[in-house]
Structure 1
Amino acid sequence: MDGHDHAGPAHEGDRRLANGRREAEVLAVLRSASVPLTPREVLDRIGGDLAYSTVVTILTRLYDKDVLTRAAHGRAFAYAPATDEQGFAARKMHRAMEEAQDREGVLTRFVGDLSSGDEALLRRLLGGDLDTGR
């Protein structure tokens, strides 16, 4: 070893991974609920060792990312998913396309990497069998 401490960045990466897992856990709780939930209600359903302030931070971050909606509920907010799982995945795909400088290249690579079943599905959808739910 060179005598330098290299643990710092690894811990930061571990923390980001843990935060991603926590966000997924909070989102799963909200998706399984039939009504919007307050941070306290989310915490009660998650259990474990999370602090209330951690749940509020996670909810706020998810709201800031447009993953959740919120409405005033007494002195707190009640949160709900902004869309279902398919809608969220579609939004991520749209954001990726908006950020791409070479949209044709991105789409070409995307379609080229599809399984044969997914490619057939995409061809069927593009051929007019598209139910957007709108």
Structure 2
Amino acid sequence: MASLGDLERSIMDLLWSSPEPLTATGLRDQLADSPDAAAGRELAVTTVLTVLSRLEKKGLVARSRTSRPHQYRAVSSREAHTVSLMNEVLGQAADRDAVLSRFVGSMSEEDATLLREILRGRD
């Protein structure tokens, strides 16, 4: 699973935050109103549709073809996407122990406490 570019991330943030599927026009309008990196430049609906097509090929977005215009929704949650990215990176590591050790060592005390609580809950 590849990481997301700026516009892909902006679109996914909107889809993850929306309880309902969104159209490309609706996404473009929300991006235009957003203080995000994609804002500040005029986006064509075709640009948003191209990005949605790429996200669909990556398995992150599903398109409803039952209505016009098509509506798009995130296939999984933001958290599930983050977990997939973390598992991908960890899976590519030559020394998983070293990567996990450095990752845990770089955590804030609050995150380390939370991780301990989560791991205790698995027992």
TM over 0.5: yes
| Higher RCO (CA-CA < 8 Å; seq separation 6+) | 2
Mark the runs of 5 or more structure 1 residues left unpaired by the alignment.
1-18
1:39: which partner in 2? 24
Q: How many pairs were matched up?
A: 112
- Aligned-residue RMSD, C-alpha: 2.5
Mark the runs of 5 or more structure 2 residues left unpaired by the alignment.
33-40
CA distance in 1, matches of 2:95, 2:70: 40
Paired-residue identity, %: 33
- CA displacement 1:5-37 (0-9 Å, x = unmatched): xxxxxxxxxxxxxx8322222223223322112
- CA displacement 1:32-67 (0-9 Å, x = unmatched): 322112223322333461112210111122222332
Contact 1:38 1:73 in 2 (8 A): no
Q: Normalization by structure 2: what TM-score?
A: 0.73
Q: Normalization by structure 1: what TM-score?
A: 0.68
- Does residue 66 in structure 1 map to residue 22 in structure 2? no
Q: Superposition pairs for residues 90-105 of structure 1, below 5 Å?
A: 90-105=83-98
2:10: which partner in 1? 25
CA distance in 2, matches of 1:74, 1:34: 18
Q: Superposition pairs for residues 53-92 of structure 1, below 5 Å?
A: 53-74=46-67, 77-92=70-85
